[in-house]
Amino acid sequence: MIPSATSLALALTSVRAGRPRSYGEAGAPDPMHRPWTTALQKEPLTNRVWLSAFNLAGDEQADQRNHGGPDQALCVYPGIHYAQWSARLGQRLGAGSFGENLTLAGSPTEADVCIGDVFRFGEATVQVSQPRSPCWKIARRWQSPLLPQWLQDSGFTGWYMRVLTPGHAGPTDHLELTARPHPEWPVLRANAAKYNQRHDQALVAALAACPALGQRWRDKLQNRLSGRLPLNDDANRLQGPNVE
């Protein structure tokens, strides 16, 4: 459990936004090379822009069935992890490589930030809503079929934030912690509760009961607990059309 704190300030390496683009080759024999559409490749912002309840100005989602909405207004990733992924993939990854809006500078990770944490971000107020669930599009972006599974297994997924108060925000701003209502739920522990193969039902139930948890995560956990979803229901998200 992380103690309650109000002194945490997260510096940013970059702030990014982007709209969907299409890639790939029709009829390609390898599924990893076939047509797909994504907004993963975002461009860095140089000035403050408006942060609404749904996204930064200029940012969109290609798959609005599974991405976007008020619980996923901002995607955040700790930049410290990119050295590890660069070494594992044998290619250089840096800020924005996983399509995040905000890349953190320094050493804060999923172990240091909790579900429900409230931050001041420029003129806006934002709150950690849920871990990011890595999907097949990250694999397609880096031509590495197992990358989403590696991210999930490591717990180094990054996280989403909802916007409590809209306002202008940009690359010169910090995320300044103002409230920590759920110190028992670091993002890393939330990932473990959902993905640990032991499937501790009491831990899953406790996470599902956290009032700050995003609705999509809460629904999935509750459906698992009730038996309406199998415990391995993440396979399609991780693999998608990258396998035949």
Mean pLDDT, rounded, of the chain? 94
Which residues neighbour 181 within 8 Å (Cβ) at sequence distance 6 or greater?
116, 118, 212
Tell me the two tokens of residue 11.
């510096």
pLDDT band at residue 117 using 50, 70 and 90 as cut-offs: very high
Torsion of CA 128, 133, 139, 140, to 10 degrees: -80
Task: Give the position of tokens 């199998």.
Answer: 230
The per-residue pLDDT for 31 is 95
**Is residue 138 within 8 Å of residue 151, measured between CB atoms?**
yes
| Residue 103 clears pLDDT 90, i.e. is over it | yes
Does residue 140 sit in helix, strand or coil? helix
> What are the tens digits of pLDDT across the range 152-206?
999 999 999 999 999 999 999 999 999 999 999 999 999 999 998 677 899 999 9
Task: Give the position of tokens 């700790």.
Answer: 78
Average of per-residue pLDDT across 4-11: 80
Tell me the two tokens of residue 6.
């109000």
Tell me the two tokens of residue 191.
């990932």
pLDDT band at residue 6 using 50, 70 and 90 as cut-offs: low
> What are the tens digits of pLDDT across the range 45-74?
999 999 999 999 999 988 877 778 999 999
> Domains of the chain by range and CATH?
9-183 (2.40.33.20)
pLDDT band at residue 229 using 50, 70 and 90 as cut-offs: confident
**Is residue 127 within 8 Å of residue 118, measured between CB atoms?**
yes
Distances (CA, A) of 120 to 6, 171, 173, 193, 221: 11, 14, 9, 28, 29
The per-residue pLDDT for 197 is 66
